Amino acid sequence: MNNTTNILTKDNDGTSVVKFLISELKPKGKWLTPFNIISIPIMLLGFLLIVIRFWKGIGSITNLTQEVPWGLWIGFDVVTGVAFAGGAYVLTFMVYILNMKSYHSIIRVTVLNGFLAYLFYAGALLLDLGRPWNVINPIIGNNFGTSSVLFLVAWHFLLYMIAELIEFSPAIAEWLGTKRAHKILTGMTAGAVIFGITLSTLHQSGLGALYLMAKEKIHPLWYNEFIPIMFFVSSIFAGLSMVIFEGTISHKVFSNQISEKSHRADNKILHGLSKICAGAMFAYFFLQLLVFIHGKHWDLLNTGMGYWFLLEMLGFVLLPMLLYFYSYRKNNILLIRVAAVLTMVGIILNRLNVTVIGFRWDAAVRYVPSWMEIVVTLAVISAEIWVFRWIVNRMPVFRESPEWAKI
């Protein structure tokens, strides 16, 4: 056992498990890090705002209107957040279906990120529900609104979270030192992966399909019947760009946990991912071009929204795509990271353009999120990072698995 952190003693009686969990709950390392100093006040304020929201209604802290009933919490937290969590299904496809072993070292962190993204952003969805106590209705089956795209998306969120939890669960078993459970859970991975990829295909596109009925409400440059396909294709490179971005940060913050070997392998991984991003973005850009030409909206280009559309398509799709192509040919890691950040900005723009900025673009009173909506969003993101850090510091995510867990 080369794992230096606490390991359960062999006689797994109840008290030792409790003691172990209590000791693991305590913080590790320094308290007053810059991230903590910023995030703790945000989370406290966010919590206060959530209390006000449940006490006085959604309108007390949001700027939502009768014409724009879904704002930042849906458009950014849920729709954009889930797109960024797409890396998990793409990587599990590569590793467990296509057997691309060299990407195995980043699979756990990606799945963990995906799982937490769903947990927190679907959790944020509960804040946006006016009558959240009825959320069990579509689940327990007394009222299945099966003709609803949202019904499909809600069920898929739930099932996909379970699938991702199963995919990640061997790491939990290694942390707890439960060998039997580890064996069983590892055996379930392939099934969870296949199920998870199928679910992801449908709910990534389903998030776009949610907006299909809002035909006249979304600006014609962004509304088309292919929104579901666009959302699916863009989730591939959105997720992978997030993996590149997150990897860059994690490698700095958690560098003590990452072996020299995987540090070196990482550059190779980044190159591989940038190739996939370039390819997927080319397909996406081409699809957007086809839809645009087919939609015959040339006249709309010379308007304010038209320039905004061009900025998104040229500045944050075409440009990062070219950077990805260029960087892997030139072997330039820095350019890959720049491309990843630009791509992520482009995804945020695209999702917000469909859901918030282009939604009721013609309304007399435009919806602009209140500062309180933004604080709650930041609080949710902060809380997610806290949980992520807690897990990474305890379970073998970046760290090597204990010897017994390797076959």
Partner 1 sequence: MELNRRNFFKVLGVTGVALATGSQLSAAPKKISDKEFSAILYDSTRCVGCQTCEGVCAEAHGLPKSTDNLTTGVLRKTDETRRTVINSYKTSKGEIFCKTQCMNCTQPACVAACLTQAMYKTKEGPVIWRGNKCMGCRYCMVSCPFDAPKFQFHSPNPKIEKCNQCYEKLQVGELPACVQNCPNEALMFGTRRDLIKEARKRIHDKPNDYYDEIYGETVAGGTDWLYISPVPFNEIGLKTNLQNKSYPELTKGFLYSVPTIFILWPTLLLGMREATKDNNSNTDNHE
Which residue lies nearer to partner 1 by CB, 32 or 98?
98
Q: Which two tokens stand for residue 370?
A: 């209140």
Which residue lies nearer to partner 1 by CB, 17 or 181?
181
Give the nearest distance from C-beta 332 to partner 1 in angstroms: 30
Interface residues with partner 1 (CB under 8 A) are 54-60, 62, 64, 66-67, 69-70, 93, 96-99, 128-132, 134-135, 137-138, 143-152, 154-155, 159, 187-188, 190-195, 197-198, 201-202, 205-206, 209-217, 225, 228, 407
Which residue lies nearer to partner 1 by CB, 217 or 297?
217
Give the nearest distance from C-beta 402 to partner 1 in angstroms: 18
Give the nearest distance from C-beta 116 to partner 1 in angstroms: 23
Of 169, 77, 182, whose CA–CA distance to 119 is shortest? Answer: 77
Which residue lies nearer to partner 1 by CB, 157 or 175?
157
Q: Roughly what angle, to the nearest 10 degrees, separates helices 34-56 and 371-392?
A: 130
Give the nearest distance from C-beta 390 to partner 1 in angstroms: 30
Give the list of residues 6+ apart from residue 273 with CB closer than 8 angstroms, or none.
Answer: 240, 243, 244, 336
Contact 281, 316 (CB under 8 A): no
Distance CA 149, CA 138 (A): 12
Q: Whose structure tokens read 């260029």? A: 326
Contact 240, 277 (CB under 8 A): yes
Contact 277, 339 (CB under 8 A): yes
Q: Whose structure tokens read 């109840």? A: 14
Give the nearest distance from C-beta 266 to partner 1 in angstroms: 23
Which residue lies nearer to partner 1 by CB, 92 or 343?
92
Q: Is 218 helix (H, G, I), strand (E, B) or coil?
A: strand
Distance CA 326, CA 320 (A): 10
| C-alpha pair distances (Å), 268 with each of 64, 107, 264, 272, 342 | 46, 15, 8, 6, 21
The Cα angle at residue 20 between residues 399 and 247, in degrees rounded to 5:
25
Which residue lies nearer to partner 1 by CB, 252 or 406?
406
Give the nearest distance from C-beta 294 to partner 1 in angstroms: 16
Give the nearest distance from C-beta 149 to partner 1 in angstroms: 5
Rounded (to 5) percent helix, strand, coil in the chain: 75, 0, 25
Which residue lies nearer to partner 1 by CB, 56 or 329?
56
Distance CA 90, CA 102 (A): 14
Contact 236, 280 (CB under 8 A): yes
Give the nearest distance from C-beta 397 to partner 1 in angstroms: 23
Which residue lies nearer to partner 1 by CB, 27 or 57?
57
Which residue lies nearer to partner 1 by CB, 209 or 375?
209
Give the nearest distance from C-beta 337 to partner 1 in angstroms: 30
